[in-house]
A and B are shown apart, each in its own frame.
Chain A
């Protein structure tokens, strides 16, 4: 739990030496409390006090990094139970399970499939984050070969899964530079695992049969200096998963309970054998707080709904979602195709472009940057008025794209029509329907060439 300035000042030297760059210790304490200053800026803080303050001021859910470089997955440091209270910050990592029991060609096929999956939404790439390598064959050499292959032929962050601790760590030592998550660390293997975790510097995936069991494990690990931890409460279905994930996050955020202040991992791939149910479990866990979900399927129809779902849940509700300003060409329009215009509020764009696609009439869709606000608000603030749209027409040469002079504007923008008739005197300004769902009917009736 965050510490208040008044509590921090008690532990500072109170000499007002100014060496930290602030006029008084009190000012420094206030800055520390809001995250604007760092403890190391005070040269006179005894190490034990500094450690104590650091611990007290740490975020309630620790930030954990799996993997390295551009492909590292960073999870944790979440601040709220409900996304509308602020935002969810670090997207759930999606991991694909690969078993060492599969044949070499199947494994290659799978990896190829994952690599080739490219999805984009509003200019952002949606991607798979991790490969979860599963020791299932009973043969150490096979697991090692799988780890090597994943390590050498891909850049994904890795999770190693093995009930056999010896196999687990021999695999981990093959890819330690990739900082894999080793899983499961349980009450049975924790003592033998600690020295290896410390030696390799890899994060630990802690599994317990209950939350209580996890608490004793993480306390134990932390005492020995292992702090990069990911939790698995062993939930067996979505009802248990919602319970466990909710209690873990609530304990960390609302009670400041440190032994549960870590991100979590969950295994829809082991919960359900039906691929539809597996996907629904993965979506549930993405919604309800999991830091990583491990799934078994690699085809586009299974993964793309999950990737889009994660993108939705983790979008920042404080910021309107926007798309790039430009003239979008939908279904290869030509010089006789209709021209429509709306704002760059992502939802406006999606709904209108979807409706045009549904109408099956190629069209130009002009998207004007309004800072992501909708038609009426943008009109009021001058970002979507006659003048702004006339400038847009000039900037993008809209008139050169077609031989006609008809512009379809949003049906709600009543006063925009008059403004545009003044600004764009060559153009006939036509109201579109009030509801985007009427666009297909509107276009097929109104646009007879």
Chain B
């Protein structure tokens, strides 16, 4: 009879390890030298980061099921953040500065930075700070946030092709990490990383490919993340070796399926998240605490 030898594969490189936050509760993401869950042939020193999101304004049009857990705190982002940590056990948070949207309330960078600082000071877990994707305004807002929150090692994003320069300079000066975002394109991801790495340390960059929900483009995100991981590990492409973030909670809860029932919504978000972890994501931004809890229990 033919003898079976487990066909193990070793890759001689590691995904870079990025650190978010400072002090005891700082978290490390990445650092693995193998594909997700491949504990049988490599090492994955850091579990994926699972963040809960907070808005700096009252949520609009949220399905009632996903609003419920936060109903008593949405009027105050600081209280909201505290509840995520104390009640829902979040180990990292993402503050979305939606109020700064120039098409919306257009809050000033100073005001946004003030709220961010207040929130960051009130919690002891790491913080991701997210703009509105508007290149010019985000640049002003994130630079001010970087300055005011100096030394907190925030993860600032999204940094785009059109605004990476100034934000990265501020992040470098005030000690923060960055999310480099290029939409659904492996080559653009690599280009942006190369541009950033000319003056910004690679180990402080996290990749965002932009993500879409189950049933609404999940497979595109899945395969982009999987191919970046493959380039990183098998082709040893140093400009693909940053940890990867997936941000999809909002897209999941906007679907008609999630709005139809609470349970289906949780399935929707948790399945989307776990599928991206299977592709190789190192950090997820989630909306519903039950989705966070389920994913955490499944992977522990």
**With an 8 A cutoff between CB atoms, is B71 at the interface?**
no
Contact A357 B256 (CB under 8 A): yes
Q: Across the interface, do A280 and B270 meet the contact criterion of CB distance under 8 Å?
A: yes
Contacts of A257 in B (CB 8 A): 2, 4, 7
Contact (Cβ within 8 A) B7 A243: no
Inter-chain contact B38/A246, CB cutoff 8 Å = yes
B214 interfacial contact with A, CB 8 Å:
yes
Contact (Cβ within 8 A) B1 A219:
yes
Cα-based distance from A251 to B267 in the complex (angstroms): 33
Residues of chain A lying within 8 A (CB to CB) of residue B191: none
Asked if A216 CB lies within 8 Å of chain B CBs, one says: yes
Could you say which residues of chain A place their CB within 8 Å of the CB of B255? 354
Interface size of B by CB at 8 A reads 47
Q: Specify which chain B residues have a CB less than 8 angstroms from the CB of A357 in the assembled complex.
A: 256
A239 to B9, CA, bound (A): 17
Determine if B278 and A279 form an interchain contact, defined as CB atoms under 8 angstroms apart: no
Interface residues of B, dominant DSSP: helix
CB-defined contacts of B9 to chain A, threshold 8 Å: 250
Does B87 count as interface, using CB distance less than 8 angstroms? no
How far, in Å, is A322 (CB) from chain B's closest CB?
A: 14
Instruction: Mark contacts of B47-80 with chain A using CB atoms, 8 A cut-off: 1 yes-contact digit, 0 otherwise.
Output: 0000000000000010000000000000000000
Using a CB-CB cutoff of 8 Å, which residues 251-286 of chain A contact chain B?
A: 251, 254-255, 257-260, 276-277, 279-281, 283-284
A84 near B226: Cβ-Cβ < 8 Å: yes
Contact status B222-A313, CB under 8 Å: yes
Asked if residues A243 and B37 are in contact (CB atoms below 8 Å), the reply is yes
Expressed in whole angstroms, the Cα–Cα distance for A340 and B100 within the complex equals 29
**A328 near B: Cβ within 8 Å?**
no
Inter-chain contacts of B223 with A (CB < 8 A): 82-84, 317
Describe A's contact surface by its main secondary structure: helix
Q: Is A361 an interface residue (CB 8 A)?
A: no
Contact, CB under 8 Å: A283 / B275? yes
Residue of B nearest to A321 (CB): B219
The answer to whether A305 touches B268 (Cβ under 8 A) is: yes
Q: B294 contacts A276, CB within 8 Å?
A: yes
Question: Chain B 1-29 against A: per-residue CB contact (8 Å), 1 yes, 0 no?
Answer: 11010110100000000000000000000
Separation of A47 and B298 alpha carbons in the complex (Å)? 52
In the complex, whether B297 has a CB less than 8 A from a CB of chain A is yes
Contact with A84, one of B1, B227, B270, B275 (Cβ below 8 angstroms): B227
A350 is an interface residue with CB less than 8 A from chain B? yes
A313 contact set on B, CB distance < 8 A: 219, 222, 275
Give the CA-CA distance A304 to B214 in the complex, in Å: 11
Q: How far is the CA of A221 from the CA of B274 in the complex (A)?
A: 37
A152 CB → nearest B CB, Å: 33
When chains A and B are docked, how far (Å) is the Cα of A13 from the Cα of B256?
A: 64
Contact A212 B4 (CB under 8 A): yes
Within 8 A of B (CB), among A209-266: 211-212, 215-216, 219, 238-239, 242-243, 246-247, 250-251, 254-255, 257-260
Chain A residues closer than 8 Å to B268, beta-carbon distance: 305
State whether A211 and B264 are in contact (beta carbons under 8 Å apart), knowing that A305-B214, A312-B215, A440-B61 are contacts in the complex.
no
Known: A287-B275, A305-B271, A308-B214. A317 touches B219 (CB 8 A): yes
7 additional contacts, CB 8 Å, given A239-B299, A281-B298, A312-B215? A84-B227, A242-B37, A243-B38, A280-B294, A287-B222, A301-B261, A357-B256
A/B interface sample: 17 pairs, CB < 8 A: A83-B223, A211-B4, A215-B2, A219-B1, A242-B37, A247-B7, A250-B7, A254-B7, A258-B2, A279-B271, A280-B274, A280-B294, A283-B274, A300-B264, A305-B268, A315-B219, A354-B216
Q: Which 10 A-B residue pairs are closest in the complex by CB-CB distance? A: A84-B223, A301-B264, A312-B219, A242-B37, A305-B267, A308-B215, A215-B4, A283-B271, A243-B40, A250-B7
